[in-house]
Amino acid sequence: MEYGQFCPIAKATEILGEKWTLLIVRELLMGGTRFSDFQRGLSLISPTMLSNRLDKLEEHGMVLKKKIPNQKGYEYFPTKSCSELLPIIKSLGDWGMRWARSNLTEKDYDVELLMLYLKRSINPDNLIGNETVIRFKFTDIKDYPNWWMVVTGSEIDVCVKDPGKEVDVYFTTTVKTMADVWMGVVTYKKAIANDELKLVGPKALIKDISSWMESSVFADIAPASEI
């Protein structure tokens, strides 16, 4: 895609303006390195499209592609030019929270993306003990309504199969409610009061969930309609 303009915005858009590219950059900057990481964060992208977009970013010097030692496949790492997009991605998210929130539809609430974001939001240092098991039961989906998150030291595993461990904290809610709570659209207290969220666990863990499962970086941004 070429615009035939010397404007730096036009030249930047020639690299970043294709569908999925900015979201791949988002995943790179959030710590994704493997093809499977990007697929989890971008569930609707085809493998062919993802491969094509990663190749384009590598071609433009924004991604370093490295063979995984002693394994099949590659890892992808953001270069300096890619990393410098972090404040731009953050500003774009700020704008989206302020002006595009009303465009959300039910189909946008992707449970796999939600669990990936919740995993990234865990702060193991503020959990108690060597291992914490968290179970999420989503009442609005038929396929894979139950998810487990196992935090062992600094390692965090997310699975849809019961790991056979004693659960410390239970969340029972809908995907939309959990996403809205994490995004700061509604508080835990209000969701519980409205019977939209049931939370079971020891008081030491549930009295201040945001200390060990941090909210979205966009949580404090009000929509334009409230300003």
The Cα-based distances of 195 to 52, 147, 164, 179, 214 in angstroms read 45, 20, 28, 16, 22
Interval 58-87: pLDDT, tens: 999 999 999 999 888 899 999 999 999 999
Picking from 156, 174, 168, the residue whose alpha carbon sits closest to that of residue 119 is: 156
The CATH number of whichever domain residue 16 belongs to comes to 1.10.10.10
Q: Structure pTM?
A: 0.90
Kindly calculate the radius of gyration of the chain based on its CA atoms and give it in whole angstroms: 19
**Count: domains in the chain:** 2
Beta carbons of 54 and 42 less than 8 angstroms apart: no
Q: Is residue 100 part of a domain?
A: no
Structure tokens at 90: 């953050």
Q: What is the Cα–Cα distance from 110 to 180, expressed in whole angstroms? A: 12
One domain for residues 114 and 80: no
Q: What is the Cα–Cα distance from 176 to 144, expressed in whole angstroms? A: 15
- pLDDT digit string (tens) for the chain, length 227 residues: 789 999 999 999 999 999 999 999 999 999 999 999 999 999 999 999 999 999 999 999 999 999 999 888 899 999 999 999 999 999 999 999 999 988 889 899 999 999 999 999 999 999 999 999 999 999 999 999 999 999 999 999 999 999 999 999 999 999 999 999 999 999 999 999 999 999 999 999 999 899 999 999 999 898 888 76
Mean pLDDT (the chain) is 95
Does residue 220 sit in helix, strand or coil?
coil
One domain for residues 180 and 120: yes
Q: What is the Cα–Cα distance from 127 to 143, expressed in whole angstroms? A: 30
Q: Residue 144 belongs to what domain range?
A: 106-211
Does residue 87 sit in helix, strand or coil?
helix
One domain for residues 36 and 110: no
One domain for residues 112 and 165: yes
One domain for residues 194 and 116: yes
Name 150's bridge partners. Answer: 133, 157
Please give the single-letter amino acid code of residue 91: S
